[in-house]
Structure 1
């Protein structure tokens, strides 16, 4: 045992001042610093993850809108390629320009304008049919008017391609991003090659990219890794500029963070992507703010508790030292009072108690201690005398002799009912005085209760009746002695006394898979919810409010004693109808008589 507590002995050898210092360093200073460092690291990581997620959402949002514009144009290209009436007019050889213009004004002029939208700048069809006159929507292909990206379109699969180029002249000259497609759906109209070209609204693309300029500088890059459109400016850019990591770093500085988002894996978008460059100075500013906040919190968390602990521990240490010195004087039989400001805390109470002890120690030793011992002896003798008198008054032998005398007199005079009730009372008293087991079979407890009910039946006559409903499987189970009869007695005393006739009590004992259920049901006056709550509180209280219902309280206490809270005491009542008292015991806590 001594080796078991060696560590505590070593702690007890440490001076009090050193203990306080260890408590401060190990319990306050180090945990506060560690927690704040951990909190800063987690906060910094969360800020970085949040900002990166926001940047990723920004580039995903812009890429989604761009892809929607391109998909709209691709769908339109396929609709045009499926228009057989358009094929028939474009594949026809016209004898004169007049014939063409007649068809143009009748059908072709408004054929493509209906496909225009906010995302589409222009829709054109290129053809090698030289009998058609070049106009706003229909272009005859030659050396002067050739389809941009025709070579790439011929070499790609799928017949659709996204290209970018510079339109040198025309009403909408400048940078163009177009969806070009072959028109070869109908082989019966294949006399002349035909191609559709749908120009996207570049200003709309600039608007999409500039919308995210607060967090990202975006660049739309084509399949040749060249910048097509970039945010922050509106105008022509150098399409020959190739994008790589070095160019991004030079353009944005050393504090740049780059993101890349592909526009899709379809053949006509292969190689097209969005590159976003974020300035990390905003992230650095957020991290600096978090660092300053945590440093300020760390300073407050250290300084304020340190000052408070110093003040509190100084008061504690000073008074403990004083008390320790005076205890050393007591060992040397010097009983001096501690003359300091005591305070109202536990140490102050200890000092006050010490001073009181010093003042009374001689009196306790010489006078009071011996006097109290004599007084306790006298009180104990008095209690023993009273107990002996009570035992002599309740001598069982005297009681049984009296009952036997009454039985002889009743027999001589032919008092049959009195004879039976005396016999029942004699059996009742004999079981009360002779039975010492704490647990008895349920059947014996019910027999004992039946003796009591026979006496009550004698008292009330025809006004009272009782019944038993007992599960045979439960008869041999062991329950606490005197755990049913007090419930019956309480029902007779408090429930049935006020009822003039038809008094009934039913005792039930049933066993199910999980518990034994005992119930005593009377048809007495019952009680309201307020009175029932008050009664339950009185039964379960350590100090009951009055002397009533002692039997219920004794049953509740015996159940608590034997089953350690696993048994449930039940009490319910309906005013003017009935009262049910009983208890439930888990089968796992019950024993069975062998």
Structure 2
């Protein structure tokens, strides 16, 4: 069914359908696959790069935080800190002297640029605030971070985004409880990280990156205006805000984005930070989209050009084939006087040349058939001419035969055997002539007629006429048209010997010559000049016989050619006073030419 539908389609439709199936659909599928693959590769590369960046940020941030952790550990285990913080001072001088002698906080800030400030909160009424040792106010004591630090297990640390009372700026701060077992008291140590260093770590990243504490407060970011805000203040997809780690596709600021979350959980920490890196998918696939648009433009231009070319080729092919179809239709109606002109050496051009050759061949065959019919009609006309001339002499043939038979019997009874024989031959000759139709006869039968005719003429001319018949027995069964040899013999007797006083001789010879039978008729009569032979040859090709009541040489010549071919006509050779030689050939077996 499908093949039948395809066969019923026009050539132009087939070409377009083939283009769609073979070119358009594969190109479209490959384009979609390559576009998706390029987009996925871009996203994958960006994700890998972001993950690498996040790991680098995590490592550098962890180094920064570990400095604070190490400092906190050393300070928490320093007995001098306990001695200064738990002592009950009697006067201001002793307190100032103690503060002056304890330089560990200053030394830490000097040695470690990662540390911005160190504060120690201690409930000791004899202490004065010097920005390092702080007597906690009621608000601080009641704060969540302070209470959590006091209730924590010894050695555990926490990270908070706290405001420093000195400069009123917020810092990512390490907070831990410091126990003084001997004195039965404790304090809270707070170490502020260098926020410039922390922000410088993030500023080197190409994608939006931020550090968020466990209360979803942004403590550092490489985008201005973000620090200090909470994740709830940012247009961030809600279900991603609480994720602790992983890669997520989410909408950030209304843009489709990919979010990478990596937790930072330093050793001995009770809470963790999160590094959140965000990149817009549109910005990542921008180059890929640009390449895709460029590729789409190139592919579209190529497809449009291909469609135009296919349309042009299909139009050219259709027009050429339509011209061929119209000419074939004209030939089908019988119009053979046309010639198709289609340029090109392709299959259609070859078909046009073959069509012209076919039409020429048909014209040739038609001409041959017409010529063959003409020759057949002419042959039948010549055969009918013989029959008509024979019929002209048929005045009650039975009466003539009976009369001749009566004459022959009376001559025989009176002893006139020669007359009786001549009358018998004359009757036989007349009977054979009357019985001749338009068909073929055997060469042997034709020779019998020739013999009867020569015997009758010999009776007439007596010793003035001699004849000789030399016939190859193998040629006797060959078919030839009737009355072919007899008119030649008659012409030799009448025109060659009749006016010759001393008489002459007639030779009739039929012999094998390869695949032909050669028939020769000789006489040693008066002969003809070259001009007369030329005139005779011309008359046989152009004029009708003008002899009355006999079969002319032209009739014999034309019937031989019409029956066996143009090369089988009569050939004349003659010299005045020497004689005339007429010859012709017929194929062995007497095959018809037409």
Q: What TM-score, normalized to structure 2? A: 0.46
Bigger CA radius of gyration: 2
